[in-house]
Chains A and B, each alone.
Chain A
Amino acid sequence: DADVTQTPRNRITKTGKRIMLECSQTKGHDRMYWYRQDPGLGLRLIYYSFDVKDINKGEISDGYSVSRQAQAKFSLSLESAIPNQTALYFCATSDRDGGNQPQHFGDGTRLSIL
């Protein structure tokens, strides 16, 4: 079983829809992250969390929200999806000794907004 699991793996939806991407981990790590990857732009941080109910904005948090109700789960929501949110989304985790760099990534969720 994967240490960091993202669901769904692929999603196609329409503009204006609410979407939730789920991430769960079995690493026991406190820190979790959501990144977005676009071609030629690398990975950009959306939100991160150091512990349950701790939420911090990243570089590109507008249009997104997150929830961390349990150590193992960190969900990302798009309240009203728009086409320029079409991207590959990664969840990642790190432990407290990891220097706060994401160490373990999920396999990604490919999201297409029509």
Chain B
Amino acid sequence: GQSLEQPSEVTAVEGAIVQINCTYQTSGFYGLSWYQQHDGGAPTFLSYNALDGLEETGRFSSFLSRSDSYGYLLLQELQMKDSASYFCAVRDMGVGDDKIIFGKGTRLHILP
């Protein structure tokens, strides 16, 4: 089966850097995605890593290590508007199957 583990909550200070980790277990791993969701809003796609390494998009970076079944989302220069839930998701491909499985999400609290 598939499973994803990420912390339920993380707290950081405005202007600081925070890292949200995600470990996964899946039989047909094909990539790791990250999504942001503000309270009452729809998820927003942030990034996708299919290969090992770091992908940077502005203040957000995402990292993947396939050998460790591990990835993280790095948020720099935190702003109050970054307070949200962040979900990692794996693309799981098998015979005749191709779907995205989400983790339970990490609630990020930002203190002024």
Contacts and interface: CB of A to CB of B under 8 A. Distances in A.
Interface of A: 33, 35, 40-45, 48, 56, 58-59, 90, 92, 98-108
B87 A43 contact: yes
Interface of B: 30-31, 33, 41-45, 48, 50, 87, 89, 91, 97-105
- Residue in A42, A48, A102, A107 whose Cβ sees the most chain B Cβ within 10 Å: A42
A100 B45 contact: no
10 nearest A-B pairs in the assembled complex, by CB-CB distance:
A105-B42, A43-B102, A42-B104, A42-B102, A101-B33, A103-B45, A101-B100, A42-B105, A105-B43, A100-B98
A101 B48 contact: yes
B45 A101 contact: yes
A104 B45 contact: yes
Secondary structure dominating the interface of B: strand
Contacts of A56: 97, 99
B39 to A, nearest CB: 12
A41 B104 contact: yes
A42 B103 CA distance: 6
Nearest to B105: A42
A102 B100 CA distance: 8
Contact of A48 (B43, B87, B89, B99): B99
A101 B103 contact: no
